Amino acid sequence: MPDLPFNQFRLALMQDALPMGIAFLERIRQGGVKKVVEVFSTSEDPLSDLKNEGDEAASSLREQLDQLSPGLGNPVMEVEIDVVENIDFQQDVTLDEQSLMPILSRIRDRLDCLEVYLKQNTV
């Protein structure tokens, strides 16, 4: 995985530096150096404020880059997936209602957790 450091650097550029740079340039365009200095003198976290200001424009730019070449604007990151099987079913085993209920209960609990997670992370 020799590309991993490069991909991480590119991801940081696209997600952090690009929005801040866009906001910085927009402030210069609107009010010159005075407008840029303003964010550094009035804010407790000026870099975060600049990132927030430029997020929407950066997102739009990344989408346009992805239209040119998929993954160009929004870099694809490798993920590792582990699947752990909790139940070892044998093909000739029949499940009666009593043995099926704990399995269904576990499925319901996992679906409830998923629903809570999705509600919390929906924009």
pLDDT at 90 over 70: no
Query: Residue 1: its pLDDT value, please?
Result: 47
Query: Residue 117: its pLDDT value, please?
Result: 86
d(CA 20, CA 40): 13
Q: Between the CA of residue 110 and those of 22, 27, 60, what are the distances in Å? A: 41, 47, 35
- What's the whole-number mean pLDDT along residues 105-113? 93
Q: How does pLDDT run across 50-77, given as a tens digit for each residue?
A: 899 999 999 888 888 888 888 777 766 6
pLDDT at 109 over 90: yes
- Give the pLDDT band (50/70/90) at residue 91: low
Please report, for the chain, the start and end positions of each structural domain, with discontinuous segments joined by +: 4-68, 93-123
pLDDT at 2 over 60: no
